[in-house]
Structure 1
Amino acid sequence: MADDRLGGYADALLSVAAAEGASAVVEDELFRVGEALRENDQLLSALGDKHLPIDRRMGVVEELLGS
């Protein structure tokens, strides 16, 4: 069920990216995030930790993407 929901979010994100001409950038970012999550259990745990403030979790993602 969660995989279906996640797939729906990814599809919607890619649709918006395509409409804005940014598909390649978004696909690259999604790939990098996916690889990082697969390779690092602590990162996955931290991003899923509801006790960690959202701004801190967002900062981790921004750092990962080099934003």
Structure 2
Amino acid sequence: MLPSRARTGEVLARFRASRERLAAAPGDGTARSAMDDDAYTLCVLMGRSTVHEAVMAAELHLAGPD
């Protein structure tokens, strides 16, 4: 069972934003922790074991037919 598109989009956007924050401040422990949390949430939501797989699954889900 897939999550709603709204929830998928929200979690994917949050992951991407935290990844950008970490890229801007690689030494920031808070940014690292936020990205780790968001990556974990995305993996669990999409039922995938890696962030790459979870992002790909989320993008496919969002691009799918209504």
Shared topology, TM-score over 0.5? no
**TM-score, normalization by structure 2:** 0.37
Query: TM-score, structure 1 length as denominator?
Result: 0.37
RCO comparison, higher one (Cα < 8 Å, 6+): 2
Larger radius of gyration: 1
